[in-house]
Structure 1
């Protein structure tokens, strides 16, 4: 989510990113309300069934405690929350249970895992790096934002072991294993510098790389700050955001590639030299992309799906007035190879189900469903729900399954819905901002082969290979 934290939280986002995103569009008129489910009504396609749900609980039960991203390890799902994280046992998908909760405020608290380590992104200024810190001002040079490291060898008792401050905080991060260094590398994405922010100075055209030694995570440190846009990024045009850093990076370590969604730019990056990522192609779409948010490779590494988070995640953009090409996914084929690799635009995909005027809805986080021979993705769309779609034909993507709830309210725009939806070991898991944790079962001949693909560990932004076609 593009929270606009340096302008004062969600309200700042709606006055900042959203005002730009809707420039020239006007306010959305009434959507096709006849097709909108009732408040909290659950609807889904015949081939998608909800099999379990757990409400938010404990310190995360309140409306302001947004659920965020998910990582998976040893049959458990770790679900981030603006106020910390929850560990769920999902070895019996129809009967998930809470194993532990850690109260550690510092939104967004996006998570990733590697072995016995868990990493947490803090992108809101805090008085210090502890889990008992208080909100601070980003203009205060003593405020803290960055990466936190936890030992999760005992999933029932995570232990906080280290922190690393990074410039402009850590909105998201991408874990890349570095076995030759006996460590893991975290590529930290952050953005929106300003002259009045001492720890977030312009131009900030870089990423921060944090190294965490596997055997001594307490020695985690910042090791590099490579510049991705030496000549500057997209200057912005009133609709597309100016590039001042990256929102999200997705690595495909086996192929030494990374795809970056960087506000006004989509990039393809060579990471064969892990400390010196090198941009080999860059694309812009100033007509339809307002905010390049995230990226997903297909399994062959021959395509990239970029998402556009029009409206910063807080606005109703899934309607006839906004249309099918804004707030959507852009599908790009990779042509050529090596330094000659290029991102070639093919088509857009947006869910075909219109949402109501009070439902924040836009393309958000998803992952591949591991089916050899096809390109199929599951994806969160906030209050647009969870969509499964096939982009095997890059020019003709289509939705094949869905799950959603009706609006949280038919009179107020309350931020909610699915933040992340990922496929893990036979089932789909969704992090709902307000409602909690959903487990979905898709039963479709096109996705059936994925049931046999098992991963011990899964981070959506660190793509594994599940075999060749």
Structure 2
């Protein structure tokens, strides 16, 4: 691990790595010469579009139908407060977490810590070089957690890419001590089957449980064998995080055959992903409830026993949903918003050809009680601001904006920007604010835009894949009550009770 403090002088300081129980100390040892950003963990390569598509993009730009190239536009009720460009971590920006006056920003090359006590001028506190996509990030107390979902040579922050077909390759969870925000220390690593694409914390007083979402097994992958029809569960003792360990792999999709009982995908359901694990899980600890976005399925499950989650209901949408990506509860826990990552985060899907129902959010009411609760579909929501055919636009990560009696959330849409929308009426959702940039390129499909957009203590924070860290301020009578809500910590996939 290389800790990059004080970016003005590019002064480098080495963090100290401690071996996790059961792991070789060498796997966590720092070797500065090898710790360089790894191109093997970059996003998909840009794809050139046809000349006719390029001409259509130019025409739309000239007519004002879409914003100018890289132009910032927004609704009147949103202010673009500031942007902090990328610095020494050049990789793809990913997820966000918050604690007190700090924001923690994931990046395929590591993570960056900001002091956001003054939202108009965030300051970089630390930058840690630790390559391994996606570096999905969360925090709890003095601990920071990082997902690795790319095949690496070992578990250290100095690892390089290595074929997933090699048994010695490593993927999984990394744990850091952040009691000193300026000097995070790498303290543990736990290997998990098929890696860790995303993760979700279930925090308790003495321990933190981690639900690890991963997928796409293959008989040729020694550490990612089919069937892969569940999630990995890790237990991390708060007072001894070096003892973090895998405690189970609960099966969520029991069934016969090589892939269990999830959605079989194509050709049975053309254009739908086969369920071979989960992509993301959101838990609502105050209700002992969780919602899983699991490729071809959406699920509702109980987490009364965090080591043994129990599925309550399972739904599919084999007409309009291609890949169930993420989930968000409303405050009353009687609705779930599921997102569809049509195109896998690498295609232009916010246009007239794709339409309003594919690549959208699906709003489900939760009806019934206890283990008899059911997910009932109500409607779709998708931004109606059409994007250029060179803009990757997809429903991505968002959070609630806490307003009593209302269901309002902010959401990232890659190059579709940031959308604020109201789903209080499940059947008639509507956008009430937005922020976006014009196309980054006009001749090829490029991955860029907002990966995550979350509301925290009066501001919206967005981690833009290419442009860096954006701070937005929303001024609207419908959302102004949220400014009075203050949290000490926010991991969006560990959804808080905002009014407890």
Sort the TM-score into its range (normalised by shorter chain): over 0.9
Is the Cα–Cα contact under 8 Å of residues 76 and 88 in structure 1 kept in the other structure?
A: yes
Q: Deviations over 1:95-130 (max 9, x none)?
A: 111110000000000000000000000000100000
In the alignment, which residue of structure 2 is the partner of 1:275?
Answer: 307
Corresponding residue of 2:68:
38
SS at structure 2 position matched to 1:274: coil
Structure 1 segment 141-220 matched on structure 2, within 5 A: 141-179=167-205, 182-220=206-244
Q: Tell me which moved more, 235-244 or 193-202.
A: 235-244
Unpaired stretches in structure 1, ≥5 consecutive residues? 1-6, 15-26
> For residue 496 of structure 2, what is the aligned residue in structure 1?
464
SS of equivalent to 1:226: coil
| 2:129 aligned with 1:103 | yes
Structure-2 separation of matches of 1:160 and 1:432: 26
Q: Give the whole-Å Cα distance in 1 for the aligned partners of 2:136 and 2:55.
A: 34
After TM superposition, list the pairs within 5 Å mapping 1:336-415 onto structure 2.
336-415=368-447
Deviation of residue 389 (structure 1)? 0.1
CA contact (8 A) 2:42 2:108 kept: no
Match of 1:116 in 2: 142
Q: Does 1:238 align with 2:270?
A: yes
Partner of 2:148, secondary structure, is strand
- Contact 1:355–1:361, Cα closer than 8 Å, also in 2: yes
Instruction: Kindly indicate whether residue 100 of structure 2 is the aligned counterpart of residue 74 of structure 1.
Output: yes
What displacement does 1:161 show? Answer: 0.4
Deviation for aligned residue 1:414: 1.5
Distance 2:43 2:446 in 1: 11
Tell me, in whole angstroms, the C-alpha distance in 2 between the residues paired with 1:348 and 1:265: 16
Larger radius of gyration between Structure 1 and Structure 2: 2
- The list of structure 1 runs, each at least 4 consecutive aligned residues, that deviate by more than 3 angstroms after superposition, is 7-14, 27-32
Q: What's the CA shift for 1:11? A: 4.6
TM-superposed deviation, 1:10: 4.9
Instruction: Please say if residues 13 and 312 of structure 1, whose CA atoms lie closer than 8 Å, have aligned partners that are also in contact.
Output: no
SS in 1 for 2:371: helix
Which residue does the alignment assign to 1:309? Answer: 341
| Distance across 2 between alignment mates of 1:72 and 1:110 | 13
Match of 1:226 among 226, 243, 250: 250
Change (3 A) 1:8 1:286: farther
Give the Å deviation of 1:238: 2.6
1:411 Cα deviation (Å)?
Answer: 1.3
Q: Does 1:126 align with 2:148?
A: no
Aligned-pair distance for 1:412? 1.7
SS at match of 1:173: strand
Following the alignment from structure 1 to structure 2, what is the Cα–Cα distance between the partners of residues 159 and 379?
32
CA distance in 1, matches of 2:467, 2:69: 13
Q: 1:171, CA displacement in angstroms? A: 0.2
Mark the CA change 1:13 to 1:184 in structure 2 (over 3 Å): closer, same or farther: farther
Contact 2:410–2:454 (Cα < 8 Å) also in 1: yes
State whether residues 296 and 306 of structure 1, in contact with CA within 8 Å, keep that contact through their aligned partners in structure 2.
yes
- SS of equivalent to 1:449: helix
Change (3 A) 1:102 1:316: same
C-alpha distance in structure 2 between counterparts of 1:28 and 1:192, whole Å: 34
2:326 corresponding residue in structure 1: 294
1:422 lines up with 2:446 in the alignment: no
TM-score between the two structures when normalised by the length of structure 2? 0.87
Whole-Å separation in 2 of the counterparts to 1:276 and 1:30: 53
Say which of 117, 131, 134 aligns to 1:91. Answer: 117
Q: How many residues are matched? A: 444
Give the root-mean-square deviation of aligned CA atoms. Answer: 1.7
1:442 maps onto 2:466 in alignment: no
In the TM superposition, residue 178 of structure 1 has moved relative to its aligned partner by: 2.1
SS at match of 2:290: strand
2:45 and 2:302 map into 1 onto residues whose CA distance is 35
- Structure 1 Cα separation of the partners of residues 332 and 162 of structure 2: 44
Paired residues of 2:94 and 2:465 also in contact (CA < 8 A): yes
Partners of 2:225 and 2:204 in 1: CA distance: 29
Measured after TM superposition, the shift of residue 260 of structure 1 is 0.2
User: TM-score, normalized by length of structure 1?
Assistant: 0.92
> What is the aligned partner in structure 1 of residue 6 from structure 2?
none
Alignment correspondent of 1:17: none
How far 1:273 moved relative to its partner?
1.2
